[in-house]
Structure 1
Amino acid sequence: MPHTPEPNNEGLDPVPPPHLVFYVEQALLGALLLDPHRADEASGIGPDSFSTDAHAALYRAITSLPRPDAAEHAKNTRWLDRVLAAAREQARGLSPSYLHALVQVCPWPSHAPAYARMVEAEHARRRLQTAAERLVHTVHDVSLAHPVQAALTEADALSKVVDDIAHRFPPRGGVLPRATAAAPPATPNLVEAVEEERILLATATACPSEIASVRWLLPDDLVLPLHAGLWQCLTALDRRNEPVDPVTVLWEAQQRGLMEDGSNPGEVLRMLAEPAASVEHWGERALQRSLLATVEHTARRIEAYAGDRANTPFQLVVGARRALAAVSSVRVRWQHCTKAVPPLQRRPEATTRASQPTTRTARTVRSTRATR
């Protein structure tokens, strides 16, 4: 029978049973202890692929020590003793009895490659979950001087994890992950967001000529449905070259059914009559909030996928890539907002035998504006 932790009978909180991968790791280690030469067949994993420090230490010892002679290994436990001694340098709690238990629980040593693939799949799931958790933490780190850049950097790191998993487990077309409810996002500072959006709408109403400079701002970037609708009204009036003032905006809102939610027309008029600063400034603030909210939603969605052990690595890759597409979309708009356009890639010029190679000075790229 598989060796499992002893039950807790001292009145402490019960120890949860190990996950299935714990027993898979035991079977794999047992196979390698019985037949060390099968370590060459267990590719794609390393010590960090295991779920416990003890198992990681044993795998490191097994794969780092010289392989024993097969006939000699069948007669004595000398090589097992060396493995135990080496593994104890990282996991002092290991005992000879545990190694013997691993040997006994291995069903078929020849199945070591299959066990290794299972361990690799579980490690991929844990890596994805850890990267998603790190991204959520970054979004809520108030100590960061440039939160957007930090969040996008972590999103890129998460994307690289997905790409690595896809390289190891190529996704199958149409295999979507199971729909799992993601953890709700942390409550944003709605008071600040609402106030800044009110100023954005009022400033755009007072300075409609600036609306065209913030085409990268979409209604969905605003937190209140009324504010999103009013922004649609402003952009529609500007696009039609019609007069823009609090009255015309309010009339457009009525035509679109925005006032049917019980909003007070007088309060909306007063809100639209209090401009400050520039449309671009408040638009950038709104887009920054939208970007961070999108990044968090994406991270929590991927975290939920990875938290469901029924999802295979193939499904995780498909689901994660679809979720990350939302980040890519808002990232492009942020780059237009902050003028952070990626550097132009110089294309090599084709040459013929009759022509001499030439050089061309690369175009100067406009400097990026500092992120607030």
Structure 2
Amino acid sequence: MNLPNDDLELYAEQALFAALHTRPDHVPGIAKLLRPDDFADATHREHYRHLTNQPTSGTAPHQAQSLSAERCPNPDHAPAYARMVLAASIRRDLARHTTRLATTARVEAAGNLGTTNTLAATHELTKALQRATHRWGTTGPRPNHLPAPTTPAVSPPTQQDDEAQLLASLTSHPQHIPAITRRLHPEDFTNPRHQLLYRSLATLHHRGEPIDPLTLAWEARHHGAPAHHLTIDHITTLTTDDPHQRADRLLEAAFRRTASDAGQIINTLTADPTLTTGDLLASGGLALQPVMHLYRRWRAPHHTTEQLHTGPTALARTPRGQAA
């Protein structure tokens, strides 16, 4: 028997129907596993719908003619063929959700349009992954590594100004540093110089030392800031901004970037035929963890260390500052 290496998914669907034509007693069990939309081929979806609506009648006459026994290596293996169909369906479903998430996050970031659609897409991907894990019944071991995102995530046009203004505000009002640093991490900054200054501010405050532009510039040298890349002018901008609002904007932007990265990573995984379905599900869950952690920090109250629930329901909530 010659198997079509270029389209095993379609062949598995054909083999399943041929097997069920020969062994209709398998139909009730497989009907509990598969849904019509698990089939990639539209004709197969209709055939399966007819088959499960009339489980005692076998396949329709026109279907029996088109699905000969030659397409089925062994009718007794119908449950295995059904698992193949389910595995392919899971990959297609996750690929569709991840493409939407990555695209939506980039569009909202580029236009500084908030996160309403990115949150919704993240919520839907989370549900799809949970649904797939439940249907498959098991996952693989925790992976040691994940692929890198295929393209860099987009930041809003105001990103650099938001970072600089927050640093200036914290330098002028260091009493806000403890509450801000509980939520905002250095990696939430996209400018390496800003990351360095933020770490320096946190270090000075932790040691209880005075904070002003000169002490910050001096401390920044110990964190590796080249003298020609940092002057006091960089951190002496006067600002009356609320640092918490600036931190919220940076966390929102970081959430979009992290969600976009996760979408790209899982999308890459769905296209890797060497991964078993269980491994794909385990890797997908791991890729979503940074999104959950970032969401928790973003939505945490400004003045406490309370941690919020980060499941799918929480991801669907309206972010602070947006209309419901």
> What is the TM-score of this pair, normalised by structure 2?
0.83
**How has the CA–CA distance of structure 1 residues 179 and 197 changed in structure 2, closer, same or farther, with 3 Å as cutoff?**
closer
Q: Does 1:282 align with 2:270?
A: no
Q: CA deviation at 1:246?
A: 0.9
Matches within 5 A, 1:1-372: 19-42=7-30, 43-65=32-54, 67-68=56-57, 80-81=60-61, 99-142=65-108, 147-172=114-139, 174=141, 176=143, 180-189=147-156, 192-215=158-181, 216-259=183-226, 262-263=228-229, 265=230, 268-276=231-239, 277-336=241-300, 369-371=320-322
What runs of 5+ residues in structure 2 fail to find an aligned partner?
Answer: 310-318
Structure 1: how far apart are the matches of 2:117 and 2:29? 40
Distance 1:115 1:178 in 2: 30
8 A Cα contact 2:20 2:78, kept in partner = yes
C-alpha distance in structure 1 between counterparts of 2:145 and 2:69, whole Å: 36
Q: CA deviation at 1:100?
A: 2.9
**Count of equivalent residues:** 308
Q: Is the 8 A contact 2:140 2:281 kept in 1?
A: no
Summarize deviations over 1:161-203 as a string: whole Å, max 9, x none: 22222223344553638854542134434x5311221111112
Determine if contact 1:39/1:63 at 8 Å carries over to the other structure.
yes
Larger RCO (CA within 8 A; separation ≥ 6): 2
Aligned residue type for 1:36: P
Contact 1:41 1:112 in 2 (8 A): no
Counterpart of 2:297, as a letter, is R
Please report how far the alpha carbon of residue 31 of structure 1 lies from its aligned counterpart in structure 2 after TM superposition.
1.5
**RMSD over aligned Cα atoms:** 3.0
Q: Distance in 1 between matches of 2:234 and 2:137?
A: 53
Mapped partners of 2:14, 2:24: distance in 1: 14
SS of equivalent residue, structure 2 residue 226: helix
Instruction: Return the alpha-carbon distance in structure 2 between the equivalents of residues 50 and 173 of structure 1.
Output: 24
Q: Which amino acid aligns with 1:110?
A: D
Q: Tell me if the contact between 2:133 and 2:139 (Cα under 8 Å) persists in the aligned partners.
A: no
- Report the residue type matching 1:275 in the other structure: L
Larger Rg: 1
Q: Report if aligned partners of 2:255, 2:295 keep a CA contact under 8 Å in 1.
A: yes
Give the share of equivalent positions with the same residue, in percent.
27
Matches of 1:145 and 1:39 in 2, distance apart? 51
Distance 2:266 2:136 in 1: 17
Using the TM superposition, give the Cα deviation of residue 219 of structure 1 relative to its aligned residue in structure 2, in angstroms.
0.7
Contact 2:94–2:129 under 8 Å retained in 1: yes
